[in-house]
Structure 1
Amino acid sequence: MAPSNTPAAVADHMAAVAGSLKSASTTLANEFVRQYVTATESGAVDRQAPVEAFEMAVRVIDLCANGLTGPTGPGPAADLPAGRGARIALQGKSVGEAVEWLRLLERVVADHVLAHATGGMDEIRAAITRLAELFDVLCTRELESFTSTYNELAGWQARVSTDLLSCLIAGPAVDASTVNDQARMLNINPHQRFRAIAAYHDPAPTPQQWMRARRRIMEVLWRQDPRREILLRERRGLLLALVPIDRSGPGPVALLTEMLDGEPGRSLFVSAGEPGASLSAAGHSCRQALSALEISIYRDQRGRVTQCTDVILEVLLAHNRWVSKRLIETRIGQLVEKPHLLDTLRAYISCDMALQRTAEELVVHPNTVAYRLRQIATLTGRDMRRITDIGDLSVALMAFDTIQMRRDREEARTDLRARLFA
């Protein structure tokens, strides 16, 4: 073959290749279908798939033939409707499947051009280059179709997920059938146990910091749930997830505890609610996780997973303000205006009623502690040496803390539910 690079020679060769492709379109389409169906063969047989693949191949080959004789640029190949990429996105398959069929067809067409080449190397190279450009246009259109549909689907899933979590967290009893229908739309099995996990980043993170922290949290949760059936709601610095727990291996609490043992533990508060028997019954777990997280933040218990059962009394008191107020009024009402006595009582309880240890904790003389304890006993009418009386005072201190925490919420400092669904 004598080399030639004149425009006329290239144009003549392009026309010859185009004619060859048109005459061999049926043969090439059949070869493509044979290779494509074999490569994608699975247990489920779709009898319509070979027919659709054949029709697509014939149309693409015809467009390529027209594109070889048309002007440079995308040419008529851009007229091919981009629909397969959208279907791949709707089926939840990978982005690679949106274009792999085109790349396979490109190899079939290129092999035919090389096998039936009659021109020089420059003409052959020009034809192959032009075909590659045309297939690049087709692949770009399919990728755009996939991306557009994927983004729309992700946005829809996020809205449904948000609505579902909002419904569960609201408090009133939910209609199980409605919850189950929404879960199935998200491809989630509602008839399994779910547990709520909440996380809070302190101090307020930058977008980059939150992205890193969120990625660490989600990597842990996806280890627990590789099928990705997690329901998620977040704002920068705050995250609530409902995680299926009927899985083998360590649970989410154990995995998160391991994660918090490192660098993330310095800035993250994490909490967990009690498991719900099904998705429709998991609302209480969400509310427990958020309440436990508020208590964890108030107590500065970062770097650990605060389970609802760890702070169950505080959670109950936080949800019943009247009970909290009555406990304070009837047990430590006389101490509220005397913070030094409240601090002494708190230290005395945390030090297991040991006078010397309490004095060391407060950095005062033991006689000072003894004097204050006598004042507390006089004002409350309790015996500071009796376990039952100390237990009553301890519960009253918890109620006092929950009231202070609610005051913080009302001042918009730690109302996590409002921040999450604002």
Structure 2
Amino acid sequence: MVSQSFRYAPNIELLTARAVDLMWDIYEGYSDDVFDKKELIPSVAKNIDLGVRVLRRGSPPTRAELLPGRDLGGRRASQGVPLESVIQAYRSTERTIILDLFSGSQAWPVELTSHYADLIISTFDLLTQEMINSYRETASAIEAAQRRVENELVTAIANGAVPAASDLDRWTHTLRIEQQGPWFSFAIGSVRNADHVEVLRLRQRIAAAVQAYVIGPVLFGDMGRLTVALARPRGRVNDIPQLLARVLEGFESAAGYAIGVGGVSADLVAAQESCEEARDAVAAALGGVRPGRVVQFDDVLVEVLLAREPELASRLVESRLGALREHPHLIDTLEALVTCNHSQAAVAKALFVHPNTVTYRIKRIQELTGFDPLSMAHFSQMATALMWRRMERATS
């Protein structure tokens, strides 16, 4: 038992005010935009009171006395206060008690002062650890719930469902996002089946890369082999495709990723159109554009038109290229004309043949198909047919 001659009896209200001043509007999350200051005062007072009780009896806190630490940890996690800020707030309270303790300790034996300091430090170590454990448990549960809601929101919007007002309110409240204002979508796909953990790593890199260009979180949803994302642009989205491309370039994978970017929609519900565009764009990228590319919807409109009308596209291939089925070298010549921007000299060089051979093959193509590759009107149709042919082969 501590001697009554050296009994520590501080003004708890005064110490509480001092401790609160050390943390309010100082540490991130300890401000009116996160929680009410009136809620902070009693929790700090309880911790100081616990410290005083521990000092008076001269023994560490009991398990029951540490329960407020668990309650506070869960509450701060729910409020979104950073864990480091909560830890620093505990240290500020601890420091307030120790400074007050030392200010009146001149008449106390050195051993008693040291014992008091050790008790306060160990008490707040235990409180802090209880808080940390509870904070992490709560944060993990919140994150899991948010991921479920996030996936639910993105898949509902992307599938074109008209969400109920109650669902929208729940989604926006849980994820702390705004329905109004512009939203856009991008979709991630791969040529080969991608490992789920690898996709999660790619998501994290993308979210970090674009964070400065979006408002709030990037929301992801799983849609089969595609991952669809929704985000609110901070301004124009012109720079985002380049950022996404850099992420893909620096991401080592054999899966062959591509990303399709949709246009900007007026609000969250209207972003269904952007989701559709993003999915169409990534499908076109995987089907006809080199994997590892980031493709904007407006850049693959022809591919999208073909993909949306596959029967007509197949008829186009048959009518323009069907007669060349038994002549693969003529197909190669047409492909080279596309790649070489219609330059016969460049085609000859690319195919390692004489220019006269290219001329002969072009005449032969016209004879077999009835379409002249030297006519831009005919050539554009044949090039479009070749595009669909490549897309079909890539997805077969």
Normalising by structure 2, we get a TM-score of 0.82
In 1, the alpha carbon distance for the partners of 2:334 and 2:209 equals 40
2-side partners of 1:366 and 1:160: how far apart? 62
From 395, 398, 409, the counterpart of 2:387:
398
CA distance in 1, matches of 2:286, 2:364: 32
Q: Which residue of 2 aligns with 1:231?
A: 219
Q: Is the contact between residue 74 and residue 137 of structure 1 (CA under 8 Å) also seen in structure 2?
A: no
How far residue 301 of structure 1 moved from its aligned partner, in angstroms, is: 2.8
Residues 351-401 of structure 1, C-alpha deviation per residue, up to 9 Å, x if partnerless?
233222212112222333233323322232112221111111112122222
Determine the C-alpha separation between the residues in 2 that align with 1:178 and 1:284.
22
CA distance in 2, matches of 1:43, 1:90: 15
Length, aligned pairs only:
385
Give the alignment of 1:109-188 within 5 angstroms. Answer: 109-117=97-105, 118-170=107-159, 172-175=160-163, 177=165, 180-181=168-169, 182-188=171-177
1:181-200 mapped onto 2 (5 Å cutoff): 181=169, 182-199=171-188
Query: Does structure 1 residue 347 correspond to structure 2 residue 321?
Result: no
Which one is further off, 75-84 or 191-200?
Answer: 75-84
One of 46, 56, 80 as aligned partner of 1:56: 46
Deviations 1:185-214 (A, max 9, x none): 311112222222334578888899777755
Does residue 30 (structure 1) correspond to residue 14 (structure 2)? The answer is yes
Please give the alpha-carbon distance, in whole angstroms, between the structure 2 residues aligned to 1:93 and 1:214.
Answer: 24
> Structure 2: where are the runs of 5+ without partners?
26-30
Q: State the Cα deviation string for residues 127-154 of structure 1 (Å, max 9, x = none).
A: 2112211111101111122111111111
In the alignment, residue 20 of structure 2 is paired with which amino acid? Y
SS in 2 for 1:228: strand
CA distance in 2, matches of 1:204, 1:368: 42
Assess if the C-alpha contact under 8 Å between 1:276 and 1:285 holds in 2: yes
Aligned equivalents of 1:115 and 1:239: distance in 2?
61
**Greater CA drift, 112-121 or 89-98:** 112-121
Distance 1:157 1:207, change over 3 A: closer
Pairwise CA distance, 1:263: 4.5
CA distance in 2, matches of 1:163, 1:184: 14
Task: Answer yes or no: is 1:40 the counterpart of 2:29.
Answer: no
For 2:294 and 2:380, the matched residues in 1 are separated by 25
Runs of 4+ in 1 over 6 A off after TM superposition: 201-212
Alpha-carbon displacement from aligned partner over 1:301-351 (angstroms, at most 9, x marks no partner):
356432121111112222332222222233222234543322211112332
Q: Describe the shift of the 1:223–1:268 C-alpha distance in structure 2 as closer, same or farther (beyond 3 A).
A: farther
Match of 2:272 in 1: 283
Q: What secondary structure does 2:220 align onto?
A: strand
1:224, 1:250 within 8 Å by CA — same for their partners in 2?
Answer: no
Say whether 1:324 aligns with 2:313: yes
Partner residue of 1:78 out of 58, 66, 76: 66
Opposite residue 49 of structure 1, the aligned amino acid is: E
Counterpart check, 1:98 vs 2:82: no
State the 1:158 CA deviation: 0.8
Provide the C-alpha distance between the structure 2 equivalents of 1:399 and 1:300, rounded to a whole number of angstroms. Answer: 11
Any conservation in 2 of the 1:78–1:138 contact (CA below 8 Å)? yes
Q: Deviations over 1:53-112 (max 9, x none)?
A: 46524642355246x533x68666434452222222222221133333332221222223
Gaps of 5+ in 1: 1-10, 408-422
Q: 1:58 to 1:385 in 2, by over 3 A?
A: closer
Aligned CA distance change for structure 1 residues 34 and 109 (closer, same or farther; 3 Å): closer
| Aligned partners of 2:206 and 2:247 also within 8 Å | no
More moved, 85-94 vs 30-39: 30-39
TM-score w.r.t. the length of structure 1 is 0.77
Q: Is the 8 A contact 2:261 2:295 kept in 1?
A: yes
Cα RMSD after superposing both structures: 3.6
- Kept in 2, the 8 Å contact 1:221–1:243? The answer is no
Contact 2:288 2:391 (C-alpha < 8 Å) held by counterparts: no
Query: Secondary structure of 2:134's partner?
Result: helix
